[in-house]
Structure 1
Amino acid sequence: MAALNRTYLEQSEIKMFIIIHQERWKIIIYSLFLSLMQQKIYEIALSLMNGIGPKRAKTLVSYLGSAEEVFKVRHKIDALIPGVSKQLLKAVKWEECLQRAEIELEWMDKNSIDVHFYLDQNYPKKLKQCDDGPVVFYAKGGHYNKRKNIAVVGTRKCTSYGVQMTRDLIHGLKDFNVQIVSGLAFGIDIAAHKAALEFDVPTIGVLAHGLDDLYPVGHKSTAKKMLENGGGLISEFMSNTVAEKENFPKRNRIVAGMCDATIVVESSQKGGSLITAGLANDYNRDVFAFPGNADKTSSVGCNYLIQKNRAHLITCAQDMIDILGWQDELASTPIQTDLFTSYSPEEEKILNILREKGITQIDDLCHFCAMTVSQLSVQLFNLEMKGAIRALSGKRFEFI
């Protein structure tokens, strides 16, 4: 009997031990959750600071370590960081930013919306390289770093030729691990999204308004299919933000900034697609354009980009694949270095970076060298033929 009582007591103690520790873990997990939510409030609030903008906001975080710290030491920021205007900081409605951020986070939780801070791992890698990239953006579905993001843009008043070229283009790219990015607008945008769905390619819609609505309304069914097919909808604008005219250039910079390349299918002399192409050029990304008849309004923009060497001329997907070297793996066999080989300034720049940083991925080299992928590929090929560098798997390179 005494032995049975001891066993019962031991079992009771074990059960109590388990219950206590389960409760402790629940408290720890809940505390972590609250901490994460608080962090998100500060990050959203940072993006709402009037007069600050993405570049200044990122500078504040780089000095102080986090969005939360920016708010905690707001009364002495001008003393901590050189060049920050006291008047500018006084104009910021700090408490209002935090209150609005808290409201937004509650709405996001109810509507399955995610928010991505620019230092988060799942923030698009290419967009991180853009100084003016949004501090945060809001998202429904989508993955941003698993595939090559390719922007397909063009006029809202597209022709049947433009729609067919868009369809043929995406059909030709579908086997190259791409994700199509566009703006869900009329014309080439919606044609790109629909073609991506047709060929089972994930596609991202970048919006010029909050995620509580969708404009144009007629594209809601396409947006729903995009989410079901592994794509997503993203915006830097909070809920209750309507699609105002000034929002579209901001939207275009995200399209250009997050993508490896931008393709303009059809474009008039002015318009959002030319703005997107210009931004992509500014970000040192490859831009491609389909030529068209000289007397067609819908071809004027593309012909201009090609004429001014602001875009590669392509007539099909294969042209782009060849320019970017997607099908050609650089030979990895080392070649004996000639001690007396001469290098161009561009080649010297690449070599200096590889000497300093060691093995480097091609996207990072593009960023460090301020070159497009196609420009850099030519230089890398020349350097490998000279035996100065070695190509490794995963589009990485090292100095020999």
Structure 2
Amino acid sequence: MITEEYLYAIALRECSLIGDINFHKLVRTFGSAEEAWKKAKKEYSKTDGIGQKTVADIGNEEYLKFAEKEIKFCEKNGVMMRLRHLNELPHLLNECDDAPAILYQKGNLEDSLKKVSIVGTRNMTSYGKEFIGDFFEASKSSRYVSVSGLALGVDKEVHEQSIQHKIPTIAVLAHGFHTLYPSKNKKLSEKILQEGGTLLTEFNSSRKPDRENFIQRNRIIAGISPSTIVVETGFGGGSISTASFANDYNREVFALPGKITDPHSQGCNKLIFQNKAAAISTIKDLTDSLGFNHSKEKTAELFPYSETDIQLTGVQQTVYESIKAHPQVSLDDLAQMISVSSYKILPVILELELLGKVKSFSGRQFMAI
């Protein structure tokens, strides 16, 4: 049932200077969106960091009229509303400081199932497509929900593979439910709902798919899951922002490495190089890291190798032995141990990660596998 609290929440969030963080501050101070709407303009000083200019719009009757229309739109189109301050958001997303005050939802959302966010370029190559197919094949016996952004390329492939493998999928949109962007994915969005999946957005029915909305949308993709996988992306790809949000939220990030000459992989390689993502060496290692290792089915390796076949170069061997002798050694300490500049060591460590010999941790620390 949609109560008056939802009405006031929509109206309050519509105020020009009331973003998600200020909304949360006000509701925490006054106890509800309704009370904030009625009291915050006169009693704003009760809330830290809120000034008179911030609350100037509160109480505007036009926003209440808009909220009434929005509620009618939701009721007519089968859209559910979730309010953060009523603890109605998915639990991991609710932990984020900048979580949306209001989340609009179509379809079912099983929050008890683990979620894995998978993102990447719109210009996916056969390499990325093969990886996504192999990942879903290897994890099909696990119970989880995939999350992506319903864009073309990697996102589309993630949702389609989820449906094909009977895995629920969540599509996070960068606009309201009055439209569907890109229009090419309209049938896919309908299929997601038919197969028990979910469409989510923080944007009301007045919001179009403007450029800035996509970056804002990406924080939900990162925040809703404990792990984010970046398949293919260039240096300036939107998936880099998703990885950054995931890092800020202290979530796991995995990236699919590729050739340094391939523009579709340069963003992933950079994330790995900067220690902002763990390199994916094999599908099995990835599914193990995600907690899917209970699967009895055999999983194919992305980069198969035999231990006896690996021949390390001289510098690789030196770096590897030093890391092996000093578990979770820092980059600076490692550089001092072997008398080699840190900027020269990093590429060697990346090579060792790709070979499955070394694992990196936050804070530029490393351990031999």
Asked if residue 196 in structure 1 is aligned to residue 196 in structure 2, the reply is: no
User: Which residue of 1 is the match for residue 281 of structure 2?
Assistant: 315
Give, in angstroms, the shift of residue 323 of structure 1: 2.6
Give, in angstroms, the shift of residue 95 of structure 1: 2.0
Give, in angstroms, the shift of residue 172 of structure 1: 1.9
Give, in angstroms, the shift of residue 46 of structure 1: 2.4
Give, in whole Å, the separation in 2 of the partners of 1:180 and 1:263.
Answer: 10
User: Which residue of 1 is the match for residue 353 of structure 2?
Assistant: none
User: Which residue of 2 is the match for residue 334 of structure 1?
Assistant: none
Give, in whole Å, the separation in 2 of the partners of 1:316 and 1:67.
Answer: 48
Asked if residue 70 in structure 1 is aligned to residue 41 in structure 2, the reply is: no
Q: Which of these residues, 279, 282, 291, is aligned with residue 248 of structure 2?
A: 282
Give, in whole Å, the separation in 2 of the partners of 1:112 and 1:95.
Answer: 26
In structure 1, the residue corresponding to 2:171 is in which secondary structure? strand
Give, in angstroms, the shift of residue 93 of structure 1: 5.8
Give, in angstroms, the shift of residue 326 of structure 1: 4.6
Q: Which of these residues, 170, 174, 184, is aligned with residue 136 of structure 2?
A: 170
Listed one character per residue, the Cα deviations across residues 283-336 of structure 1 (whole Å, up to 9, x for unaligned) are 1000001111111110101111111111111134421232344537xxxxxxxx
Give, in angstroms, the shift of residue 91 of structure 1: 4.0
Confirm or deny: 8 A CA contact 1:162 1:188 kept in the other structure. Answer: yes
Listed one character per residue, the Cα deviations across residues 143-194 of structure 1 (whole Å, up to 9, x for unaligned) are 1512111111000011011111111112222322211110110110001000
**Larger CA deviation: 319-328 vs 180-189:** 319-328
Give, in whole Å, the separation in 1 of the partners of 2:13 and 2:138.
Answer: 39
In structure 2, the residue corresponding to 1:99 is in which secondary structure? helix
Give, in whole Å, the separation in 2 of the partners of 1:112 and 1:40.
Answer: 15
User: Which residue of 1 is the match for residue 24 of structure 2?
Assistant: 58
In structure 2, the residue corresponding to 1:50 is in which secondary structure? coil
Give, in angstroms, the shift of residue 229 of structure 1: 1.0
Q: Which of these residues, 256, 259, 271, is aligned with residue 305 of structure 1?
A: 271
Q: Which of these residues, 93, 107, 111, is aligned with residue 77 of structure 2?
A: 111
User: Which residue of 2 is the match for residue 137 of structure 1?
Assistant: 103
Amino acid of the residue matched to residue 206 of structure 1? Answer: V
Amino acid of the residue matched to residue 321 of structure 1? Answer: T
Give, in whole Å, the separation in 1 of the partners of 2:144 and 2:361.
Answer: 20
User: Which residue of 2 is the match for residue 238 of structure 1?
Assistant: 204
Give, in whole Å, the separation in 2 of the partners of 1:300 and 1:93.
Answer: 49
Give, in whole Å, the separation in 2 of the partners of 1:241 and 1:138.
Answer: 12
Count of residues paired in the alignment:
298
User: Which residue of 2 is the match for residue 207 of structure 1?
Assistant: 173
Give, in angstroms, the shift of residue 259 of structure 1: 1.1
User: Which residue of 2 is the match for residue 365 of structure 1?
Assistant: none
* Residues 97 and 316 of structure 1: CA distance in aligned 2, closer, same or farther (over 3 Å): farther
Confirm or deny: 8 A CA contact 1:71 1:94 kept in the other structure. Answer: no
Listed one character per residue, the Cα deviations across residues 311-366 of structure 1 (whole Å, up to 9, x for unaligned) are 111134421232344537xxxxxxxxxxxxxxxxxxxxxxxxxxxxxxxxxxxxxx
In structure 1, the residue corresponding to 2:176 is in which secondary structure? coil
Listed one character per residue, the Cα deviations across residues 112-133 of structure 1 (whole Å, up to 9, x for unaligned) are 1111101344411111111111
User: Which residue of 2 is the match for residue 271 of structure 1?
Assistant: 237
Amino acid of the residue matched to residue 281 of structure 1? Answer: N
The structure carrying a bigger helix percent of its residues is 1
Asked if residue 45 in structure 1 is aligned to residue 11 in structure 2, the reply is: yes
Amino acid of the residue matched to residue 119 of structure 1? Answer: H
In structure 2, the residue corresponding to 1:90 is in which secondary structure? coil
* Residues 171 and 77 of structure 1: CA distance in aligned 2, closer, same or farther (over 3 Å): farther
Listed one character per residue, the Cα deviations across residues 230-260 of structure 1 (whole Å, up to 9, x for unaligned) are 1011111111321111110011011111111
Amino acid of the residue matched to residue 40 of structure 2? Answer: R
Confirm or deny: 8 A CA contact 2:233 2:239 kept in the other structure. Answer: yes
Asked if residue 90 in structure 1 is aligned to residue 56 in structure 2, the reply is: yes
Confirm or deny: 8 A CA contact 1:137 1:236 kept in the other structure. Answer: yes
Confirm or deny: 8 A CA contact 2:189 2:199 kept in the other structure. Answer: yes
Which structure 1 residue ranges, 5 or more long, are not aligned? 1-32, 329-373, 377-400
**Larger CA deviation: 172-181 vs 123-132:** 172-181
In structure 2, the residue corresponding to 1:186 is in which secondary structure? coil
In structure 2, the residue corresponding to 1:73 is in which secondary structure? helix
* Residues 242 and 38 of structure 1: CA distance in aligned 2, closer, same or farther (over 3 Å): same
Confirm or deny: 8 A CA contact 2:15 2:57 kept in the other structure. Answer: no
Alignment RMSD (CA, Å): 2.0
* Residues 82 and 161 of structure 1: CA distance in aligned 2, closer, same or farther (over 3 Å): closer
Amino acid of the residue matched to residue 171 of structure 2? Answer: G
